[in-house]
């Protein structure tokens, strides 16, 4: 087997083209010229996305006895976002190109500039320790002026301004009267505002967590990062509540870091060399957070945040108590002590998991001159492709159809009878289908079929009655 290309050599353009060609991801509203930072998931993509979400849910919700699930609304009471701080502080620092009027993130311009300095002199101590996350917005302005940073089009830029990422909309219950609401910027706040209803309606006892998967919306202006950064995206967020007096937060944090790492490397089969932990600096961390780590993945455009885990103390529940006037205290069932639980939050973007899975699975096989997606069978959109050797031979098609209908009750199967068999193999390799099953003339005589392995391209013949047990062993 040839080696997987290291992800540094894999370009985002290659992944974007493959994703479009094979029905994983399409640009949204393509017939109207597209919409910035917006993508649709095609037939293969939606299945891969669902498989990732199912694995997340099975591992973190149904697979644990200390977790429950939730599905809260995208539109929440607008006070939620005042309490959480999003209305005043959910900002990105924006600069505007003075000539083209295109907008850019000031922190991204600075980071790109610093990376260029480091490329020229990788050991320059001035930039080695530099972290743009430590700069306040005024300091970014001063940096841009001092180093005369220009926009990507080569023009001077304005001073950075805070730009709120929340999308606003309105609900109108009475004609003419409208009230402002926000599309949620994260799923977490629905968990906090339901805390009391969850403890009242279930038998959960601290420490326990609540997880949900759902859409979030952010008015992102940085373009060109494919599904890594979109306006609309799904998050998988967990709030893990505990008693700060009897539970050691550092241990809980370490446990979640291990679980996140195991999900990426064992469940999704990501190469650990492409993952790293990055601890937030004191200046970068939110004021209420005691410790925050990002699990970064080495995307084709460089290391980027995949999954964050933050110790948020009792900040959110306290804020919601203050803004709602309702008690969100927990009463210890043994001691009757009342207190506000603390929380550790592992939060991931499902589309960032998706992009990571695509990049990590990509392999160019130079020997056979083909692209192979080495997806784990549980992730692959289709686990099996069934073909009659040639089209227009009714006896072959009937036999293949019979096998296809039987196997699709157990496995995610696809059918293909177009063109020659070699082309069908190549297209399944690019979608990541682990096994192709072909019914040929010999099948009609002796009841055997050919199974071709995606990764090795090796073929074996098997009697039809051994298929189920064989597939169970290779596809699980
Ligand atoms: P970034 O710094 O990359 O903008 P963030 O620190 O603002 O991300 P969080 O607020 O911690 O992100 O959100 C939790 C997770 O949600 C992130 O780790 C990421 O996986 C995902 N996420 C955040 N913004 C987006 C987006 N615009 N598109 C896709 N996923 C996103």
Quick: pLDDT tens for 137-190: 999 999 999 999 999 999 999 999 988 999 999 998 766 667 899 999 999 999
Write down the residue that tokens 């001159």 correspond to. Answer: 369
User: How many Å apart are CA 130 and CA 120, to the nearest integer?
Assistant: 15
Q: Residue 284 — very low, low, confident or very high, per pLDDT cuts 50/70/90? A: confident
CATH number attached to the domain at 382-475: 3.40.50.800
Q: Is the pLDDT of residue 277 over 80?
A: yes
DSSP letter for 418, please: S
C-alpha of residue 349 to centroid of ligand 1, in Å = 6
Spatial separation of the C-alpha atoms in residues 418 and 424, rounded to whole Å: 7
347 alpha carbon – ligand 1 mean position (Å): 8
User: Using CA positions, which residue lies closest to atom 3 of ligand 1?
Assistant: 305
Tell me the pLDDT of the chain averaged across its residues. 94
Residues with CB under 6 A from ligand 1: 186, 218, 220, 229-230, 233, 235, 305-308, 347-349, 351-352
Asked whether residue 285 carries a pLDDT value surpassing 70, the answer given is yes
Most confidently modeled of 90-94, 106-110, 218-222, 353-357?
A: 353-357
Question: Best of 85, 349, 350, 351 to mutate for ligand 1, by most ligand atoms within 8 A of CB?
Answer: 349
Q: Which atom of ligand 1 is nearest to the CA of 294?
A: 18
Kindly tell me if the per-residue pLDDT of 33 is higher than 90: yes
- Please report, for the chain, the start and end positions of each structural domain, with discontinuous segments joined by +: 12-77+185-362, 91-164, 382-475
Cα-to-centroid distance, 307 and ligand 1 (Å): 8
Residue 3, pLDDT score: 42
Ligand 1: residue whose CA is nearest its atom 10:
186
Distance 289 CA to ligand 1 centre (A): 17
Ligand 1: residue whose CA is nearest its atom 1: 305
From the CA of 229, give the closest atom in ligand 1. Answer: 28
What per-residue confidence (pLDDT) applies to 474?
Answer: 94
- In testing the pocket of ligand 1, which one of 211, 279, 306, 352 has its CB within 8 Å of the most ligand atoms? 352
Pocket mutation for ligand 1, best pick of 211, 235, 257, 346 (most atoms within 8 Å of C-beta):
235
Local confidence band at 225 (pLDDT 50, 70, 90 cut-offs): very high
Q: At residue 241, does pLDDT exceed 60? A: yes
d(CA 390, CA 428): 17
Calculate mean pLDDT across residues 322-347: 96
* pLDDT of residue 437 exceeding 80: yes
User: Is residue 7 over pLDDT 80?
Assistant: no
**Bridge partners, residue 386, by sequence:** 415, 437
Tokens matching residue 353: 């998991």
**pLDDT above 80: residue 51:** yes
pLDDT at 234 over 70: yes
Q: Whose CA is nearest to atom 29 of ligand 1?
A: 229
CA distance 27 to 33: 9
* Residue 4 reports pLDDT greater than 70: no
pLDDT recorded at residue 174: 61
Mutation probe of ligand 1 site: the residue of 91, 347, 348 with most atoms within 8 A of C-beta: 347
Please state whether the predicted TM-score (pTM) of the whole model is above 0.85.
yes
According to the model, what pLDDT value does residue 389 have? 95
- At residue 316, does pLDDT exceed 70? yes
* Closest approach atom of ligand 1 to CA 306: 20
Classify domain 91-164 by CATH architecture: 2-Layer Sandwich (3.30)
Mean pLDDT lowest among 102-106, 212-216, 231-235, 314-318:
102-106
> How distant, in Å, are the alpha carbons of 46, 252, 402, 442 from that of 447?
35, 56, 12, 7
Neighbouring-strand partners of residue 150: 156
State the pairing for strand pair 291-299/275-279.
antiparallel
Res. 233: pLDDT tops 50: yes
pLDDT over threshold 80, residue 203? yes
**Model confidence over 373-388: pLDDT tens digits?**
999 999 999 999 999 9
pLDDT of residue 1: 38
Q: Among the atoms of ligand 1, which is closest to the Cα of residue 304?
A: 3
For residue 289, pLDDT over 70 is answered with yes
- Residues 457 and 471: their CA atoms lie apart, in Å, by 16
- Whose alpha carbon is nearest atom 5 of ligand 1? 305
3-state secondary structure of 209: strand
400 phi-psi bin (left φ>0, alpha ψ -120 to 50, beta other)? alpha
Q: Residue 5 has what pLDDT?
A: 45
pLDDT score for 417 = 93
Distance 251 CA to ligand 1 centre (A): 25
Residue linked to tokens 């997340």: 56
pLDDT value, residue 177: 67
| CATH number of 12-77+185-362, picked from 1.10.10.410, 3.30.930.10, 3.40.50.2300, 3.40.50.300 | 3.30.930.10
The residue contributing the CA closest to ligand 1 atom 21 is 349
Share of the chain above pLDDT 90, in %: 85
């Amino acid at each position: 087997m040839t080696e997987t290309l290291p992800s540094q050599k894999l370009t985002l353009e290659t992944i974007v083209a493959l994703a479009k060609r094979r029905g994983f991801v399409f640009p949204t509203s393509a017939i109207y010229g597209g919409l910035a930072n917006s993508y649709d998931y095609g037939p293969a993509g939606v299945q891969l996305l669902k498989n990732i979400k199912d694995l997340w849910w099975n591992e973190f919700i149904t697979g644990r006895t200390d977790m429950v699930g939730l599905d809260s609304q995208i539109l929440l009471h607008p006070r939620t976002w005042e309490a959480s701080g999003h209305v005043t502080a959910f900002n990105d620092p924006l600069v505007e190109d003075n000539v083209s009027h295109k907008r850019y993130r000031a922190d991204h311009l600075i980071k790109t500039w610093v990376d260029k300095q480091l490329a020229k002199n990788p050991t320059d101590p001035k930039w080695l320790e530099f972290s743009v996350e430590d700069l306040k917005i005024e300091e970014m302005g001063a940096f841009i002026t001092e180093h005369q940073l220009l926009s990507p089009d080569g023009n001077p830029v304005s001073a950075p301004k805070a730009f709120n990422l929340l999308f606003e909309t309105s609900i109108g219950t009475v004609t003419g009267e409208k009230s402002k609401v926000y599309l949620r910027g994260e799923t977490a706040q629905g968990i906090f505002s339901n805390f009391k209803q969850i403890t009242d309606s279930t038998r959960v006892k601290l420490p326990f967590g609540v997880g949900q998967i759902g859409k979030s919306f952010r008015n992102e202006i940085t373009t060109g990062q494919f599904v890594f950064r979109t306006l609309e995206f799904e998050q998988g967020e967990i709030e893990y509540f505990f008693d700060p007096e009897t539970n050691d937060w550092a241990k809980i944090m370490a446990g979640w870091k291990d679980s996140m790492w195991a999900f990426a490397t064992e469940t999704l089969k990501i190469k650990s060399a492409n993952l790293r932990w990055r601890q937030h600096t004191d200046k970068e961390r939110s004021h209420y957070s005691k410790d925050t780590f990002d699990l970064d993945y080495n995307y084709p455009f460089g290391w980027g945040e995949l999954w964050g885990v933050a110790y948020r103390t009792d900040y959110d529940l306290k804020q919601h108590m203050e803004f709602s006037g309702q008690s969100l205290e927990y009463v210890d069932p043994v001691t009757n002590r009342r207190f506000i639980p603390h929380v550790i939050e592992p939060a991931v973007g499902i589309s960032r998991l998706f992009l990571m899975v695509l990049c990590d699975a990509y392999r160019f096989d130079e020997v056979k001159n083909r692209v192979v997606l080495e997806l784990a069978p549980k992730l692959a959109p289709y686990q099996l492709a069934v073909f009659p050797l040639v089209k227009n031979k009714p006896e072959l098609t009937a036999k293949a159809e019979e096998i296809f209908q039987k196997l699709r009750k157990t496995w995610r199967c696809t059918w293909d009878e177009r063109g020659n068999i070699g082309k069908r193999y190549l297209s399944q390799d690019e979608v990541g289908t682990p096994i192709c099953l072909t019914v040929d003339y010999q099948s009609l005589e002796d009841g055997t079929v050919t199974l071709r392995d995606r990764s090795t391209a090796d073929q074996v013949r098997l009697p039809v009655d051994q298929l189920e047990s064989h597939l169970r062993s290779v596809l699980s």
